[in-house]
DNA sequence: ACAGTGAATTAGAATGATTCTTAATGGACG
DNA sequence: CGTCCATTAAGAATCATTCTAATTCACTGT
């Protein structure tokens, strides 16, 4: 059901507009700005970071709108939530199948491409259950840094 | 008032005491109570649930102590945090290698044994990085329930 | 028993991410 | 222009978690 993987596409205003429309989202000024922040570089950004970057040029997007918009984008499958840090949610513009490397020291998140990673032996699901997705999170830390005494 | 638990309790007071000591934790009254809640049934409980269950018989453990103790248990490797829900952290008394099935509708968490599940093709880590752990989270929902419109 | 000591506990305030409420704004269209 | 509905927004509310600062506890040596 997913559209083609979205990589290395120059996201100008009209392209973003079409992208939103394709997902059933009316392309308002604020939404385009948030989409631009998300898709410009394919990073993993928190709501706060998105708010900040969206308002770098002109402050024109409120915190409430950032949260509303991110939830809307998530519901429409435009972005994916990354749950690795209990403190905050990150948003990932890459909705294709892939996984994540999480540096618990720095908070840095890196993509792990899904091809090449094989996962087998998953148990059968209970009746009436449908898989929504499988997240693999590799937690790493800088060598030599230890949380133990 | 029927305190008689319905399941086999492998952990009586002296056993829990020894367990804490083995992990370098002084076995205080509150810590033993929290450990009992965690290990009695091997569930995945939030801090709030643990607070509630610890005070069911006799209120003697504060919210602050529950959080302090869970962080201590986590640091000493007695329990593991399960990060699947952005709203709250769950604590898992099973520290052995295993993974999780997360029902996004009900919030229910189920263990997936690690044996039988094979994961291969993980990319090399960047230099100076050490793997802390690999979490596999299978997100499921009840069939027929759709979050999309 | 009893004071001394450091660790453990605690009530409540503070923090911070996210959501909610409610009012203002804006654009499309007759 | 004015209506209508969606969108935006300011700030309050919520809620999990952490922090602060004081109190209590468990032990020790006497």
pLDDT of chain B, 149 residues: tens digit per residue: 444 444 455 678 999 999 999 999 999 999 999 999 999 988 999 999 999 999 998 889 999 999 999 999 999 999 999 999 999 999 999 999 999 999 999 999 999 999 888 898 888 898 899 999 999 999 999 887 664 43
Strand C bases with any atom < 7 A from protein Cβ: 7-12, 16-21
Task: Say if CB B66 and CB B47 are below 8 A apart.
Answer: yes
**What is the side-by-side order of every strand in the sheet holding A109-113?**
A109-113, A98-103, A129-142, B129-142, B98-103, B109-113
Q: Pick out the nucleotide with least CA–C1' distance to A85.
A: C17
Q: Is residue A24 scored above 90 in pLDDT?
A: yes
A135/A141 Cα distance (integer angstroms): 19
Task: Kindly determine whether residue A83 and residue B81, on different chains, have CB atoms separated by under 8 Å.
Answer: no
Across all strands, nucleotide nearest A62 (CA–C1'):
D9
**Which of B75, B86, B88 is the closest to A147 by Cβ?**
B75
Of A86, A128, A138, the CB nearest to B131: A138
Highest mean pLDDT among A43-57, A135-149, B131-145: A43-57
Q: What is the pLDDT of residue A3?
A: 52
Residue B32 CB coordination number (10 Å): 18
pLDDT at A9: 57
Which residues of chain B are within 8 Å of residue A135 when distances are taken between CB atoms? 135-137, 139
Nearest to B81 by CA among A133, A144, A139, A125: A139
User: How much of chain A, in percent, has pLDDT values that exceed 70?
Assistant: 90
Q: Which nucleotides of D are covered by protein (CB under 7 A)?
A: 6-11, 15-20, 26
Q: Does B84 touch chain A (CB under 8 A)?
A: yes
Task: Give residue-wise pLDDT tens across range A112-128.
Answer: 999 889 898 888 898 89
Residues 6 or more apart whose CB falls under 8 angstroms from that of A47 comprise: A63, A66, A67, A70, A88, A89, A91
Residues of A in contact with B129 (CB under 8 A): 103, 140-143
Residue B100: which region, alpha, beta or left (left: phi > 0; alpha: psi -120 to 50)? beta
Architecture of domain A13-90: Orthogonal Bundle (1.10)
**Residue A80 β-bridge partners:** A92
* Residue from the list A81, A133, A142 with its beta carbon closest to the beta carbon of B128: A142
Fold annotation for B13-85: Arc Repressor Mutant, subunit A (1.10.10)
Distance A35 CA to D20 C1' (A): 41
**What pLDDT sits at residue A145?**
64
pLDDT tens, A55-91?
998 889 999 999 999 999 999 999 999 999 999 999 9
User: A117 — contact with chain B (CB < 8 Å)?
Assistant: yes
pLDDT at A149: 36
Residue–nucleotide distance: A22 CA to C30 C1' (Å): 28
Q: What is the pLDDT of residue B145?
A: 64
Among candidate residues A136, A129, A92, the one with its CA nearest the CA of residue A114: A136
| Residue B5: predicted pLDDT | 41
Interchain pair A140, B121: CB under 8 A: no
Domain coordinates in residue numbering, chain A: 13-90
Task: Give the CA-to-C1' distance from B70 to D28 in angstroms.
Answer: 29
Query: What pLDDT does residue A126 have?
Result: 86
Residues facing residue B90 across a β-bridge: B46, B82
Residue A22 CA to nucleotide C4 C1', Å?
74
Compute φ and ψ for A134, nearest 5 degrees: -125, 120
Confirm if B104 and A74 have CB atoms less than 8 A apart: no
Q: Please report which helix (H) or strand (E) contains residue A132, including its range.
A: strand A129-142
- The answer to whether the C-beta of B63 is closer than 7 A to strand C is yes
**What mean pLDDT is reported for chain A?**
90
| B61 sits within 7 Å of strand C by its CB | yes
Sheet holding A80-85, edge to edge: A45-46, A88-92, A80-85
Q: Does B114 touch chain A (CB under 8 A)?
A: no
């Amino acid at each position: 059901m997913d559209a083609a993987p979205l990589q290395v596409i120059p996201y100008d205003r009209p392209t973003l507009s079409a992208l939103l429309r394709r997902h059933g989202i009316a392309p308002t000024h604020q939404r385009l700005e948030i989409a631009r922040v998300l898709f410009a570089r394919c990073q993993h950004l928190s709501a706060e970071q998105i708010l900040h970057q969206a308002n770098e040029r002109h402050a024109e997007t409120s915190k409430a709108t950032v949260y509303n918009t991110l939830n809307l984008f998530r519901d429409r499958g435009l972005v994916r939530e990354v749950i690795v840090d209990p403190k905050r949610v990150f948003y990932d513009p890459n909705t294709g199948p892939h996984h994540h490397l999480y540096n618990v020291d720095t908070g840095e998140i890196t993509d792990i491409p899904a091809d090449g990673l094989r996962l087998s032996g998953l148990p059968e699901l209970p009746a009436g259950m449908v898989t929504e997705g499988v997240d693999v999170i590799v937690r790493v830390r800088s060598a030599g840094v230890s949380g133990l005494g």
